[in-house]
Structure 1
């Protein structure tokens, strides 16, 4: 396991986002900077790099500072919590959501300044929308009211008047050729399939080792670091995945295999990694936040998306 994580190279800011969503949010959503540094240093992220990355996340309004004497906690902003809550619904779902056979569309029908247009585009792509012709964004299952709320949280209230959210007409039979054509135009499934394939190739040997040696004495720290890297890699793929219904996906689609692989490894690491967080994660006053069991429950069989 140590050999696995030593071969990894990660971007500090992106990894910190993963750490907040997976580890910090279920424990109150804030952490003392020194505690965060201690948690991430074993991944060869030095103190200066972590500080710089955290300051950048504050500037980007993911995090906010809560000073306490000479120390400071870093907490998720309201927008940051919303982003994580939406992402968590997909990351920790046991199965992909069912499809009601209706497409969600957001059309650009008004004038937008170039910078504002790019911000809208990026915000919708982040939520898994595909793009048709630059003026139409499409998704198979997004909750449109939630999407618009997300744009508001991103500071794009002025852009909403230029957007028209719509439902496409119901499809009463199996997916049609026009559905398949829409998918091919809106998303690059070859690239996404390749990413899932690489994920499976990387992590299947890890699961094989965990299954082969049931008595494997994995240190709590190693369990946490492996869990963090696992969710980090999986999250980055899901940001590009619209979670299309199975009927619209190519044969032998590797997405569900990757989902089940992630779930199985995560559950095997959960207890040991949680012990490490209980020992290492604290806030600026030195107290250890109590884990919220409702937020910590991951990959539940009863997930509403299933």
Structure 2
């Protein structure tokens, strides 16, 4: 907008409407209330005493356009799905991750809050669920996808990393140690590497993933300067942090964490990790003030974050 002051023309930039962004973003990005509640428990509650009063959770999330009824329904469904457990204290209900949900999210968090998604050692983990029962196979495949594995060929799932910890935990938890074959491998020459690159680009839809990262970057990169100028309050910082990590997680968990030599030029995932890391650090202090002064568990306001919080994106 242009206005006249004396004989000079001045350009006025309309202030960014943070409340409008927060309210409209879940609908624009097709974020369900149920999935966002899982993000809040994983990103926030797990780091601040593991438990929160439902009334405070409702008040915290309503500015996103989630009604009280929708939040209650989402929480009840998560209890039914064995993601959340409830404890009654008088007329108040307090919620926390179930042990299985906590383990599940902890493994995902190793990817979400990693300092980098690049792997360049050339080693691949290959999983063959050769003797997994048909009833158990869908659940195992879902767990593999959460860990970053993708189907390379019929019955074979691959991940370009030598980190076996989360995979071993998953196989043990599902009691499949006698049903799954796991081995490490690497291509033997450049020609095989090029064929493998063509195979994964075709099967794993890297172009669509790159577009998802690009959309994330376009949405959140401009907010870095806004947050640096402290143009938001503590509650807004809390909500923006939730949206940031939810959308970053949603794209990242579809990523295959390929080495650089197998990715397209100008891979948008690199920039996405930098944006998430920078903006998350900017929002940490203000969001923590909101968490510890507005959200309660059975003992009072939530405690300060666990030591593990300081290691995120490090």
Give the TM-score normalised by the residue count of structure 1.
0.87
Q: Secondary structure at the match of 1:29?
A: coil
Give the paired residue count.
Answer: 293
Find the counterpart in structure 2 of residue 295 from structure 1.
308
In the TM superposition, residue 272 of structure 1 has moved relative to its aligned partner by 1.2
Query: Given the alignment, which residue of 235, 252, 273 partners 1:221?
Result: 235
RMSD (CA atoms): 2.3
Structure 2 unaligned segments of length 5 or more: list them: 1-17
Cα 1:111/1:3, change in 2 over 3 Å:
closer
Task: Confirm or deny that 1:184 pairs with 2:189.
Answer: no
Task: Confirm or deny that 1:72 pairs with 2:96.
Answer: no
- For 1:291 and 1:151, locate their aligned partners in 2 and report how far apart those are by CA, in whole Å: 34
Find the counterpart in structure 1 of residue 104 from structure 2.
83
Structure 1 unaligned segments of length 5 or more: list them: none
Find the counterpart in structure 2 of residue 53 from structure 1.
74
Work out whether residues 130 and 186 of structure 1, in 8 Å CA contact, stay in contact via their aligned partners in 2: no
- For 2:191 and 2:79, locate their aligned partners in 1 and report how far apart those are by CA, in whole Å: 47
Query: Given the alignment, which residue of 243, 249, 255 partners 2:263?
Result: 249
Work out whether residues 32 and 72 of structure 1, in 8 Å CA contact, stay in contact via their aligned partners in 2: yes
Cα 1:186/1:151, change in 2 over 3 Å:
farther
Per chain length, whose mean CA-contact separation is higher, i.e. which structure has more relative contact order (CA < 8 Å, sep 6+)? 1
In the TM superposition, residue 69 of structure 1 has moved relative to its aligned partner by 2.7
Q: Secondary structure at the match of 1:65?
A: strand
Q: Secondary structure at the match of 2:66?
A: coil
Query: Given the alignment, which residue of 275, 278, 281 partners 2:295?
Result: 281
In the TM superposition, residue 20 of structure 1 has moved relative to its aligned partner by 0.7
In the TM superposition, residue 179 of structure 1 has moved relative to its aligned partner by 2.9
- For 1:177 and 1:293, locate their aligned partners in 2 and report how far apart those are by CA, in whole Å: 44
- For 2:129 and 2:199, locate their aligned partners in 1 and report how far apart those are by CA, in whole Å: 18
- For 2:203 and 2:162, locate their aligned partners in 1 and report how far apart those are by CA, in whole Å: 15
Query: Aligned ranges for residues 55-204 of structure 1 at < 5 Å?
Result: 55-110=76-131, 112-113=133-134, 115-141=135-161, 143-153=163-173, 156-157=174-175, 159-169=176-186, 176-204=193-221
Decide which structure has the larger Cα Rg and report it: 2
- For 1:122 and 1:99, locate their aligned partners in 2 and report how far apart those are by CA, in whole Å: 26
Higher mean alpha-carbon deviation, 250-259 vs 173-182, is at: 173-182
Query: Given the alignment, which residue of 267, 271, 294 partners 2:281?
Result: 267
- For 2:65 and 2:286, locate their aligned partners in 1 and report how far apart those are by CA, in whole Å: 21
- For 2:51 and 2:21, locate their aligned partners in 1 and report how far apart those are by CA, in whole Å: 29
